[in-house]
Structure 1
Amino acid sequence: MTLPADSIRFRRSLWVQWCCWCVGMFVLVVLHPLGAPLSSLGLGEMVWIGAQCVLLQFVPLSIAVAWSVRRPAVAAKYGPYLFVGVPIGFAVDVVVFRSSGMHFFSADFAELARNHLPRLMAFFSWGMLVPLLAIGGYVGIGLVLSKHCGRLAVRNEQVNRVCHAISWGLLVIAACGAVRWLTFDPIERMAVQQAHATRHPFYAVPWSGAPMAASAGGIDHDRSIVKPVEPFTFDRNRFAGQVSGRIQQMRMNVVVETDSDGPPDARPDILIVVCESLRSEMLAPDVMPHTFAAAQSGWWLKQHFSGGNATSLGMFSLVSGLESIWFYRSQVRFAPALNRLFRQAGYELGFFAGHDDWRAFQMDAFLSPEQFDRYEIEPMDWLESDRRSIARVKRFLRNRDLRPLASPRLAILFLYSTHMPFAVDDAQAMDQPSASADYPIPFPESWRESVWNRYRNAARTLDAELAGLFHEEAVVVLVGDHGESFLDDGTVGHGTKLSHAQTQTAAMVTGPGVPSRPIHARTMHADILPTLLAIAGIDVSMPDQFDGVDLGAATEETLRSRIFSISNLVGRNLVLLPPAERRSRDGWGTRVEFSLLDNTIQPHGKIDRNGDPIGPPDEDRLRDWMKRIVR
């Protein structure tokens, strides 16, 4: 079959443009600033990366050639744009992966985008557009260069021959790279893949089987590949019945009067301050001096964890005294134990926040006007709305002698200034260099120091506003709702990965009846409610119905020996933290696919502090934990 002249010219141009885009793709993969340092890349891995670039671009090349046979004129006009899809897809995947730890084409990211991204627009900053603008600039330059080279090849036979030679060379490189990579030691290959997850274009596509998904293991300590675990066996029907039984018992947990109980007006006021994304490192004298001083005068919880890596899960644990696995059971979420029990004990309740997105994140079940005597929220205005909320809570707690019956009050104050991109008062911007509010998100490693300094300045700003809330008459609890990652686990932000950085928070309790004592054992948000009930002298009929414990009565051994869970916002995942004495052998914890909606329970292997897989699961610890949650 004789090809039309247009088709011949197009194919000449096409091969040249394919060469340009293969080289451009390799440059993008190797030089993008969001990956691990290039110095740790070996020659063999570089060859394999180049092979991936060539093989991926071979797909649009094949489509364009086939298209040129059927529709040569249309293919000549639009065919070169097929090459743009591969680098755009890769670049977007890099941005998504560095933001969330999820690949763009994964089911987890689809769930995140569908359920949560629209709600996060309130936190938009122009810095979020920087990576997208960079992608647009790269594509624009690539199109100009490839089309110019393509036209040159059509006019110049010598250029055409050179480009054909380069094309064959690229295909040979692809074949050699594939062979070299397949001969790598499997353990070494998996370790390299985890270290350079954003420099391997194959891992951006769903069918790659990328080990970063780590569905069932990772690298074991004996250097053997962890095989997929067998399905976890348990009596599903019996477990479902035990769950239902415990939910019924939760509702039966009520305040009981004893001879030792004093009158309600003798009980202290209580203030729970929840600071968005507040990490434990912020509780330091050079960052939050007023909060640090208060922590030293009471219980300073040095290893404190949220119920999850997002606000909804952390707040649920605070008001229920439960691990956040119960969040998705509506019978529990709509019956917050804190509100019910403190009201029974004669407390007036108030909730104050500088944001109004509680319904959007399913928190209106336990944070709503129906649950509080005073409920005052407003649209987010960062530091200004936080200041107004602080002023409101001060008015709510003052002049106790003028209240009806001098009843005690409990207030929850939620503050947003330490949410990315962080609000800073100029007078508190002491850590320099500090990024502006429009820093790029996600940011490269070179930006970490300046973004971290901005975060420290935001915490310092908030501490200055909180100074007037610490006084001797009230019990004050201060916690973060969850943690925040600054590339600690390879991501930025929170709500995306079960890692130490996204789940550990600052925490302290101070006030009357709280002696000065640091607590070094691990504690969790679920401990706060039973602890406050004990401080207030409130006895309940079924104290064992809380997952948390009274920190004033719990021994160090009790805290160190327990297993508890931290839930992930996206997907049905949690991490089980083992007893303290086993942490060195068990990594940081065991990841489990878990849901009380359909009683799904499947261990997926041990993970390290970054949430990355390191070995097979510990099923014995999982069974011990299951017995406790349905006791």
Structure 2
Amino acid sequence: MFLLVVSHPLGMHAWTLSFSEMAWVAGECVLLQITPLLLAVAWYWQRPGAAVRHSSCLFALMPIGFAVAVLVFRGSGMHLASSDFREAIREHLPRLIAFFSWGMLVPLLAIAVYVAIGIRLSKLLTWWLTENPLAVRMLSFTATLSCTAIVCGSLLWLSQGRSEMLAATHAQITRHPFNLLGLNVDIPSKAGEQNDPDQRGAESVQPFTFDLASFSDSVSSRMRQMRMNVVIEPTVDTGPAPRPDVLIIICESLRSEMLAPDIVPHTFAAARSGWWLRQHYSGGNATSLGIFSLVSGLESIWFYRSEVRFAPALNRLFRQAGYELGFFAGHDDWGTFQMDAFLSPRQYDRYETEPMDWLASDRRSIAKTVQFLRKPESPHARPPRLAVLFLYSTHTPFDVADAHARDQPAASADYPIPYPQSWRGSVWNRYRNAARSLDAELAEVLQSDAVIAMLGDHGESFLDDGTIGHGTKLSRVQTRTAAMICAPHLSSREIRERTTHMDVLPTLLGAAGIELSLPGQFDGLNLETATLTELQTRTFSISNLVGRDLVLVPPATRRSGATFGTRVEFSLLDNTISPRGAINAQGNLSGPGDRGLLRDWMEQLVR
């Protein structure tokens, strides 16, 4: 028990805790050791000699387990005991081996050292208690201290109530050993209390009901209409208008803050000459969801319907308009997260990928894209072309060219993952340097007279939401990206209203002068023709990689306080629809949510 109390977050945070909080944490530590105590007693009854020598190791299991739980939460935002973590391990762990770096071994090495020290301390403590003449006296003192902690913790539990205590432990997750049991998964700040004054009322507490049979029929009808959306050929009298080349540049994990003159000067100049999308969101918090939304013009909830995922509207419609399509990437594992449905040789006339080699393979992909888009001497020597360029060197652990490592101090490529808060500044500098290095390589391609869209596939967290990386939380930093669209005919414009990846396809089709039979079949808007009211009053969803969660981002007129949106468990595979509550910008539950918003969005979805 002493080991659990001293070596756990109580020891790390004691100077920030009140006496009652310290008593509650101590009570957690003691209560968690009841299980190994019972195991030790049972072992002693069966094998006394072995129990005396080795049973002390049992008391190191809980502190070791909690240390691992803290490590998991710091890296992923998921509890070790949660279903989300089990699903992530089952579905995604084998796919993440390609992203291994030696820095990932540092936390594992620390855990190994912690295990060794913990077991040794347990053995020394057992030896001291059994061999020292003061053993009985000290054992009595320890028992008294333990009982005091249990009593204090129990009194706090009874006086404040279970929901309040769970809310408190949820607010400071890494302080409380009870999180090892997964007791605090998805507990709002105060369970059952209407935290958001603008969301109080009967609607927020009534069970959510919806006509699921009618909704399912409407979803099927909507998918049929998607396939009926085709390019309208120009009339014979006017003839086909010359169409511009189109280039889509997708930069891995590129946050909105990176679009700045001191970081990406070439990209920033292009953004200032065209449309700078100041508040742009991905379709999800992972690459698969973000790119799907780009190539379909749809919200990422459609990703899991294979009829939609295997029929990307971008490829079909641009090909109908006479375009040649090319895809270029310094990364070749698109089947890992089911992206080969819309990123494969069958979808493109020229498809060139290679094994990941960070900045070096990005350079080669950029060179191939420049060659693909190079204008022939005769303007009619080839049809118009669309190129999709995916760049990977801004993915963890970020690749940096020595000439562009300006922000210092910067972490090396083998920084520990997950890393503590003290490392954030140096890792952030490395990320900035990686973006700067990539921008230097893009200088030539950004000078093209094509219609160019450049954006991140999703965001990235640097402990902003308590986690590292992406694909783990529906937080603002994991879903918001840099974005810009430029073209010779577009005048300079800053779009400060919220835009999303699903807006890119209808906007590029409009910029290329391509008319459609059913333009309203996209979830996204053509930003060139969308009105301010349309941008300000719409609700859209952002999907989570793990599980079936999404966040509904409300219109500007319905936002309140620090609420980011309403979290919903939702799936078009079996029509799962379950409101989970409001979440804040860090992706944490903060209130009951807006069920009216969910109903409005579902009606909009199958309009």
TM-score range, shorter chain: over 0.9
SS at match of 2:341: coil
Q: Does 2:196 match 1:221?
A: yes
Q: Which residue of the partner structure matches residue 350 of structure 2? A: 374
Preserved contact between residue 10 and residue 26 of structure 2 (Cα < 8 Å):
no
Q: CA deviation at 1:471?
A: 1.9
Q: Which residue of the partner structure matches residue 417 of structure 2? A: 441
Instruction: Give the Cα–Cα distance (whole angstroms) in 2 for the partners of residues 59 and 523 of structure 1.
Output: 52
Q: Report the AA paired with residue 512 of structure 2.
A: A
Q: Report the AA paired with residue 559 of structure 1.
A: L
User: Of 145, 168, 171, which residue of structure 2 is paired with 1:192?
Assistant: 168
Instruction: Give the Cα–Cα distance (whole angstroms) in 1 for the partners of residues 191 and 377 of structure 2.
Output: 60
Preserved contact between residue 390 and residue 413 of structure 1 (Cα < 8 Å):
yes
Q: CA deviation at 1:508?
A: 0.1
- In the TM superposition, 1:97-176 aligns within 5 A as 97-176=73-152
- In the TM superposition, 1:291-310 aligns within 5 A as 291-310=267-286
Preserved contact between residue 485 and residue 493 of structure 1 (Cα < 8 Å):
yes
SS at match of 2:195: coil
Q: Report the AA paired with residue 591 of structure 1.
A: R
Q: Report the AA paired with residue 127 of structure 1.
A: G
Alignment CA distance shift 1:263-1:422 (3 Å) = farther
**Segment drifting more, 159-168 vs 462-471:** 159-168
Q: Which residue of the partner structure matches residue 509 of structure 1? A: 485
Deviations 1:32-57 (A, max 9, x none): 5xxxx765432211211111111111
Preserved contact between residue 103 and residue 417 of structure 2 (Cα < 8 Å):
yes
User: Of 393, 402, 408, which residue of structure 1 is paired with 2:384?
Assistant: 408
**Segment drifting more, 484-493 vs 141-150:** 141-150
Alignment CA distance shift 1:400-1:213 (3 Å) = farther
SS at match of 2:42: helix
Q: Report the AA paired with residue 296 of structure 2.
A: S
Q: CA deviation at 1:217?
A: 6.7
User: Of 303, 310, 316, which residue of structure 1 is paired with 2:292?
Assistant: 316
RMSD of aligned residue pairs (Cα, Å) = 2.4
Q: Could you tell me the percent identity over the aligned residues?
A: 60
Q: Which residue of the partner structure matches residue 23 of structure 2? A: 47
**Segment drifting more, 143-152 vs 618-627:** 143-152
User: Of 389, 399, 405, which residue of structure 1 is paired with 2:375?
Assistant: 399
State the TM-score, normalized to the length of structure 1.
Answer: 0.91
User: Of 202, 207, 215, which residue of structure 1 is paired with 2:178?
Assistant: 202
Instruction: Give the Cα–Cα distance (whole angstroms) in 1 for the partners of residues 534 and 199 of structure 2.
Output: 35
Instruction: Give the Cα–Cα distance (whole angstroms) in 1 for the partners of residues 292 and 602 of structure 2.
Output: 20
User: Of 266, 275, 278, which residue of structure 2 is paired with 1:290?
Assistant: 266
Instruction: Give the Cα–Cα distance (whole angstroms) in 2 for the partners of residues 77 and 404 of structure 1.
Output: 86
Q: Does 2:587 match 1:629?
A: no
- In the TM superposition, 1:587-606 aligns within 5 A as 587-606=563-582
Instruction: Give the Cα–Cα distance (whole angstroms) in 1 for the partners of residues 163 and 125 of structure 2.
Output: 42
SS at match of 1:355: coil
SS at match of 1:539: coil
Preserved contact between residue 218 and residue 613 of structure 1 (Cα < 8 Å):
no
Instruction: Give the Cα–Cα distance (whole angstroms) in 1 for the partners of residues 237 and 17 of structure 2.
Output: 67
Q: Which residue of the partner structure matches residue 21 of structure 1? A: 3
Preserved contact between residue 217 and residue 613 of structure 1 (Cα < 8 Å):
no
Q: Report the AA paired with residue 266 of structure 1.
A: P
SS at match of 2:560: helix
Q: Does 2:42 match 1:66?
A: yes
State the TM-score, normalized to the length of structure 2.
Answer: 0.95
Q: CA deviation at 1:225?
A: 12
Alignment CA distance shift 1:198-1:363 (3 Å) = same
Q: Does 2:515 match 1:575?
A: no
Deviations 1:129-178 (A, max 9, x none): 21121121122122222212322332222234213322332222122123
Preserved contact between residue 187 and residue 224 of structure 1 (Cα < 8 Å):
no
Deviations 1:550-599 (A, max 9, x none): 00011122101100000000111110111112222581110011000001
Instruction: Give the Cα–Cα distance (whole angstroms) in 1 for the partners of residues 587 and 158 of structure 2.
Output: 27
Alignment CA distance shift 1:212-1:401 (3 Å) = farther
Structure 2 segments unaligned to the other structure (5+ residues): none
Q: Which residue of the partner structure matches residue 432 of structure 1? A: 408
Preserved contact between residue 45 and residue 181 of structure 1 (Cα < 8 Å):
no
Preserved contact between residue 57 and residue 122 of structure 2 (Cα < 8 Å):
no
Q: CA deviation at 1:190?
A: 5.4
Instruction: Give the Cα–Cα distance (whole angstroms) in 1 for the partners of residues 191 and 84 of structure 2.
Output: 16
Preserved contact between residue 220 and residue 226 of structure 1 (Cα < 8 Å):
no
Structure 1 segments unaligned to the other structure (5+ residues): 1-18
Q: CA deviation at 1:125?
A: 1.2
Preserved contact between residue 394 and residue 434 of structure 2 (Cα < 8 Å):
yes
